[in-house]
Amino acid sequence: MKIVIIGGGFAGINLAQELLNSKNIEVTLVDKNNYNFFSPLIYQVATAFLEPSSISYPFRKFFAGKKNLKFRLGELQKVIPSENKIVLNNGVLEYDYLVFATGAETSYFGMENVRKNAIPMKTLNDAIEMRNALLKNLEKAAICTNNAKRESLLTIVVVGGGPTGVEVSGMLAEMKRNIIAKEYPEFARSVGRIYLVDGGDALLAPMSKDSQRHTFEAVTKLGVTVQLNSQVVDYDGETVYFANGKSIRTKNLIWAAGITAKVFDGIPAESYGRGKRIITDKFNKVQSTNNIFAIGDTCIELSDPDFPNGHPQVAQVAIQQGLNLAENFKLMQRGKSLQPFKYNDKGSMAIIGKMKAVVDLPKPKLHFNGSFAWLIWLFIHLISLITYRNRFQTLYNWMVAYLSKDQALRMLIRPDKRAKQLES
């Protein structure tokens, strides 16, 4: 049985791991990057509290010595279902079963200027670009003599009141308080403002009312200006424009407002649903196909009565779908009936700042906030990292940052022209 997995995020890597040493199953994982990364912590790379290597690990090193697991660096160009083939940018692969685990990408809701000028927060590359952009603007502000321009360089607008938006705005607020004011005497007392804006009427909308209230109070206390019911309609690189006619001048717009799945050549149009997500049945088999599956953020299953609009696009769904599909592939080999996917909601959490977090548990229905929730968040995210090396490195950096209220990773590191030419 030849299984090809497209995408090595939470869904893809857990599916591959679960099939390790399975007899007569050969797995090839295809990804456009040569590494797996832990997306819930990319904002800490973006704000220079973690190194990229702390939350990432090379696929080939991870697969080394695993005889039935292979890695292929490449980007999917086309699927040919009638021939059980996929076309990559660097060759062709055959499969018996194909699995899409491609996750999702940033959605700008059709606003082209926002796409061109905002800083996204979805990939490890986005995090590095954000870190460089913020550090570069700090240095520009340090030598700027025009007060209005300096204020624009120092003002940061974070769009999106979900966990990513809350976490990055809280981290930036603590940097402003503990690091920037100390390291940049040029700014005197003015180090710009941080805005957290969302089109809805609450932060962390899917979480409990207690979490929403506590989060609003905590980020506001950190010095973040929260603007709810504020829908962005344009951003020209200088000014953020809102639907209510208001605007904010800034050179830093961080976009954490939405995601969308990807469309692939060769997959029937009727197989796509809301948000371009691939429609699957209860076994994660793609609608209108025979041997193609989809798991994680890229898929939507509408047959679960507990989630009639599809499962949430979160890591736990992707992990559980990967594990369930792996078990079903093993059952296929033995000629047994497949088991439908059933999501076990383990709760939601978000960190706001040092000793500040919120946690909601569904069974039993419990809410935590403050230092205890912060410790839960740290523990869960630490054990979720892919290797012991990642866990140790991340724990070390967290301890240094906690004890010193600082870190030493604020370097501007950018590829030179020759490196960019090699990429092309």
Of the CA atoms within 13 Å of residue 377, those in its CB half-sphere come to 26
The whole-number pLDDT of residue 422 equals 45
pLDDT above 70: percentage of residues in the chain: 94
The whole-number pLDDT of residue 369 equals 95
* Model confidence at 75: pLDDT above 90: yes
Structure confidence by residue, pLDDT tens digits, 241-250 = 999 999 999 9
| CB count in 10 Å sphere of residue 308 | 8
Residue 189, domain CATH: 3.50.50.100
Distance (Å, whole) CA 364 – CA 281: 29
Is 327 among the residues known to form the active site?
Answer: no
Q: Do 248 and 149 belong to one domain? A: yes
Q: Which of 298, 318, 333 is the last residue of a domain?
A: 333
Per the listing, tokens 């559980």 go with 320
Distance (Å, whole) CA 102 – CA 295: 8
Q: How much is the average pLDDT of 203-209?
A: 95
Ranges of H-type helices in 257-387: 315-333, 371-384
Contact 202, 210 (CB under 8 A): no
Model confidence band, residue 17 (pLDDT cutoffs 50, 70, 90) = very high
- Reference 163, options 73, 4, 41; nearest CA is 41
Q: Do 85 and 207 belong to one domain? A: no
Q: Which of 225, 258, 291 is the last residue of a domain?
A: 258
| CB count in 10 Å sphere of residue 81 | 17
**Does residue 353 lie in a domain region?**
no
User: How close are the terminal C-alpha atoms of the chain, in Å?
Assistant: 35
Residue 21, domain CATH: 3.50.50.60
**Does residue 412 lie in a domain region?**
no
The whole-number pLDDT of residue 179 equals 84
The whole-number pLDDT of residue 413 equals 60
Model confidence band, residue 396 (pLDDT cutoffs 50, 70, 90) = confident
| CB count in 10 Å sphere of residue 127 | 27
* CA atoms 243, 244, 245, 250: torsion sign: negative
Q: Evaluate the omega torsion of the peptide bond into residue 364 and state whether it is cis, within 30 degrees of 0.
A: yes
Q: Do 243 and 121 belong to one domain? A: yes
The whole-number pLDDT of residue 107 equals 94
Chain centroid to Cα 329, Å, comes to: 28
What's the domain count of the chain?
2
Distance (Å, whole) CA 136 – CA 128: 12
Q: Do 207 and 282 belong to one domain? A: no
Distance (Å, whole) CA 193 – CA 243: 21
Q: Which of 234, 258, 282 is the last residue of a domain?
A: 258
Structure confidence by residue, pLDDT tens digits, 76-114 = 999 999 999 999 999 999 999 999 999 999 999 999 999
* Model confidence at 367: pLDDT above 60: yes
**Does residue 211 lie in a domain region?**
yes
The whole-number pLDDT of residue 404 equals 67
Q: Do 299 and 180 belong to one domain? A: no
**Does residue 173 lie in a domain region?**
yes
Q: Do 189 and 124 belong to one domain? A: yes
List the structure tokens of 356: 């500040």
Contact 341, 320 (CB under 8 A): yes
Q: Do 200 and 145 belong to one domain? A: yes
List the structure tokens of 7: 């995408």
List the structure tokens of 344: 């076990």
Q: Do 123 and 173 belong to one domain? A: yes
Range of the domain at 117: 112-258
Q: How much is the average pLDDT of 366-391?
A: 92
Q: Do 97 and 181 belong to one domain? A: no
User: Cα separations (Å) of 148 from 126, 141, 151, 294?
Assistant: 28, 10, 5, 50
Model confidence band, residue 238 (pLDDT cutoffs 50, 70, 90) = very high
211-220, 290-299, 383-392: least confident range: 383-392
Q: Is 21 left (phi over 0), alpha (psi -120 to 50) or beta?
A: left
Q: SS3 for 196?
A: strand
Task: Provide the residue count of the chain.
Answer: 424
Distance (Å, whole) CA 419 – CA 424: 9
List the structure tokens of 358: 């919120």
Q: How much is the average pLDDT of 200-204?
A: 96
CA triple 295-298-299, angle to 5 deg: 60
> Of the listed 75, 129, 167, 301, which one is catalytic?
167
φ and ψ of 119, to 5 deg: -105, 110
The whole-number pLDDT of residue 177 equals 85
Per the listing, tokens 């939470």 go with 10
**Does residue 383 lie in a domain region?**
no
* Model confidence at 424: pLDDT above 90: no
* Model confidence at 354: pLDDT above 50: yes
Instruction: Give the residue, 403 or 159, on which the prediction is more confident.
Output: 159
Q: Do 239 and 126 belong to one domain? A: yes
Contact 210, 367 (CB under 8 A): yes
Distance (Å, whole) CA 406 – CA 419: 31
Per the listing, tokens 């409990």 go with 208
The whole-number pLDDT of residue 397 equals 84
Distance (Å, whole) CA 150 – CA 238: 12
32-46, 82-96, 201-215, 384-398: least confident range: 384-398
**Does residue 54 lie in a domain region?**
no
Q: Do 187 and 158 belong to one domain? A: yes
